[in-house]
């Protein structure tokens, strides 16, 4: 472990500040990680970088981190810097509480949003359907009469118009169903993106 960080810290004079460790290790890892799977070196290194960065939170910012220090366990590091570790633990608890509150809020907002959007979609489609039913039959009948002239048979014309009008109404109902079914997925994506943005704020 220490040999790895001796090499990783070479550019920074053999030591590094806590907030530099993750980046320096990432540079070393991506250059030296042997890829034997479909994952890229970045994908393979990311969990390792995240783990060491999490340990470095318990090291005071002004500390010069040595390879020996960074190779210690998180528990040993916290024992070495007890006051700082205590402050970080309190901060992490507050962040966890804030995240939990944000998740609950987004879930509640998501339920309200889904219900409101479903109603709006149904109302809009109902208006479109009513307008289509009102306009389509007469316009189809007029166009068919203009095209066929005196040869148009009234009974056959009625069947033609009715068939197309019913097909159009089915299409409208199908559009209603498909849009309403799509709303939970869209709201779910919104909730995920909202929580991701909130999580980024917590990390900052």
Same domain, 57 and 115: no
Indicate whether 17 belongs to any domain. Answer: yes
pLDDT at 196: 82
Indicate whether 169 belongs to any domain. Answer: yes
Indicate whether 166 belongs to any domain. Answer: yes
Work out how many domains the chain is built from and give that number.
2
Indicate whether 85 belongs to any domain. Answer: no
Burial of 77 from C-beta contacts in 10 A (0-12 / 13-18 / 19+): buried
Same domain, 112 and 191: yes
The list of the chain residues with pLDDT below 50 reads: 204
Same domain, 102 and 193: yes
Indicate whether 183 belongs to any domain. Answer: yes
Indicate whether 87 belongs to any domain. Answer: no
Same domain, 59 and 101: no
pLDDT at 119: 93
What does the pLDDT look like over 1-12, one tens digit per residue?
899 999 999 988
pLDDT at 203: 53
pLDDT at 204: 46
Same domain, 64 and 17: yes
Indicate whether 167 belongs to any domain. Answer: yes
Domain with 17, as residue range(s), is 2-80
- What distance in Å separates the CA atoms of residue 126 and residue 131, rounded to the nearest whole number? 9
Same domain, 68 and 10: yes
- Output the DSSP codes for 49-76: HHHHHHHHTTS-TT--B-HHHHTS-HHH
Indicate whether 86 belongs to any domain. Answer: no
Angular region, 163: left φ>0, alpha ψ -120 to 50, beta rest:
alpha
Whole-prediction pTM: 0.48
Same domain, 43 and 141: no
């Amino acid at each position: 472990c220490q040999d790895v960080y001796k090499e990783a810290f070479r550019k920074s004079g053999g030591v590094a500040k806590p907030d530099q460790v993750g980046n320096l290790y990432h540079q070393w890892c991506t250059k030296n990680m042997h890829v034997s799977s479909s994952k890229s070196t970045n994908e393979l290194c990311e969990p390792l970088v995240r783990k060491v960065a999490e340990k470095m939170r318990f090291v005071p910012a002004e500390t010069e981190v040595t390879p020996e220090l960074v190779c210690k366990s998180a528990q040993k590091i916290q024992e070495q810097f007890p006051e700082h570790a205590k402050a970080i633990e309190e901060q992490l608890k507050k962040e966890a509480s804030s995240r939990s509150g944000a998740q609950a809020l987004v879930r509640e907002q998501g339920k309200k949003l889904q219900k409101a959007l479903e109603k709006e979609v149904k109302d809009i489609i109902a208006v479109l359907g009513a307008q289509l039913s009102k306009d389509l039959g007469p316009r189809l009948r007029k166009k068919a009469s203009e095209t066929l002239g005196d040869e148009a048979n009234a009974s056959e014309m009625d069947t033609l118009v009715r068939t197309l009008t019913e097909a159009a109404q089915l299409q409208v109902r199908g559009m209603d169903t498909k849009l309403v079914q799509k709303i939970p997925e869209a709201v779910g994506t919104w909730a995920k993106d909202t929580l991701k943005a909130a999580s980024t704020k917590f990390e900052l």
